[in-house]
């Protein structure tokens, strides 16, 4: 029988923040590879559009409106995915928000909002998913993969965006701990660190001549990253091709941070 490590037929994936940007790119790759895909998003129009995109790829899709800032909503959301599909093999905790403002003007409320969405929500999501995966392992069906979207702001200075950078640094420590703790169950945990990607979060910078020249001009690949640039890494980490790959932080930035 041929070895087909990137075939996700029979696997179920969840992508939070999967109705646009990096999350939708991941979901597209997963669906195209044969996975059943659940995505979370709160914008009805974007949810509907993403559902059309993913359904067109031929897979089974579940779109949920989940507020990741609510612990109960996350708990219920994960339970609904498992109830619908019977299992969950891969989870990409991708939902996130920015918090740009001069540091001395940042408020405690704003700081905590960023931490809730970018860090607490990852904790809640992975906790619920891990419980399911550990239960499966106890029943003789070990395995699973957790992926968090961090940021290159975790490894270089992000002026006027310290809350975002702090949250994205924190999830790297979380991932390393999960990789070690859950390896015994066959569960892997990794992080991706995107660079400058065309998403809603970077919309105000796209087309700004000075930014294009001074920042994007320094990207060795000479372009913005696009959502499709994250399809392959999601498929790889959800598949058996990465069955011995865990605890890693993979930079996807066109070479920006090394130049």
Give the ranges where the chain is alpha helix by DSSP (H): 21-32, 44-55, 71-85, 108-115, 121-138, 162-182, 209-214, 231-238
Q: How many CA atoms lie within 13 A of 175 on its CB side?
A: 28
Beta bridge partners of 149: 192
The single residue of 164, 182, 236, 256 carrying the catalytic annotation is 164
Classify residue 90 by burial, with Cβ atoms within 10 Å: 0-12, 13-18, 19+: buried
Q: Three-state DSSP class for 136?
A: helix
Tokens of 235: 């498929």
Read off φ and ψ for residue 188, nearest 5 degrees: -105, 155
- b/e map 24-50, b = 16+ CB within 10 Å: bbbbbbbbbbbbbbbbbbbeeebbeeb
* 256 is known as an active-site residue: no
Compute the residue count for the chain: 259
SS3 of 34-69: CCEEEEECCCHHHHHHHHHHHHCCCCCEEEECCCCC
Is-contact 26 234, C-beta < 8 A?
yes
Tokens of 173: 């420590």
List, by residue number, the catalytic residues: 164
């Amino acid at each position: 029988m041929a070895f087909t490590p990137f075939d996700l037929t029979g696997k179920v994936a969840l992508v939070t923040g999967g109705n646009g940007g990096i999350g939708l790119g991941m979901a597209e790759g997963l669906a195209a590879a044969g996975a059943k895909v659940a995505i979370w998003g709160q914008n009805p129009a974007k949810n509907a559009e993403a559902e059309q995109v993913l359904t067109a790829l031929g897979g089974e899709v579940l779109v949920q409106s989940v507020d990741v800032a609510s612990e109960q909503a996350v708990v219920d959301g994960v339970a609904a995915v498992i109830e619908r599909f019977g299992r969950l093999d891969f989870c990409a905790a991708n939902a996130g928000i920015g918090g740009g403002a001069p540091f001395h003007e940042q408020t405690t409320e704003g700081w905590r909002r960023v931490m809730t969405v970018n860090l607490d929500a990852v904790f809640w999501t992975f906790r619920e998913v891990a419980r399911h995966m550990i239960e499966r392992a106890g029943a003789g069906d070990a395995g699973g993969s957790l992926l968090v979207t961090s940021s290159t702001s975790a490894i270089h200075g992000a002026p006027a965006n310290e809350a975002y950078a702090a949250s994205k640094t924190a999830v790297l420590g979380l991932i390393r701990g999960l990789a070690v703790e859950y390896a015994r169950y066959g569960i892997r945990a990794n992080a991706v660190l995107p660079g400058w990607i065309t998403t809603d979060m970077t919309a105000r910078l796209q087309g700004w001549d000075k930014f294009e020249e001074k920042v994007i001009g320094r990207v060795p690949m000479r372009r913005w990253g696009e959502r499709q640039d994250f399809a392959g890494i999601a498929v790889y980490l959800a598949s058996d091709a990465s069955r011995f790959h865990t605890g890693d932080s993979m930079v996807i930035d066109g070479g920006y941070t090394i130049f």
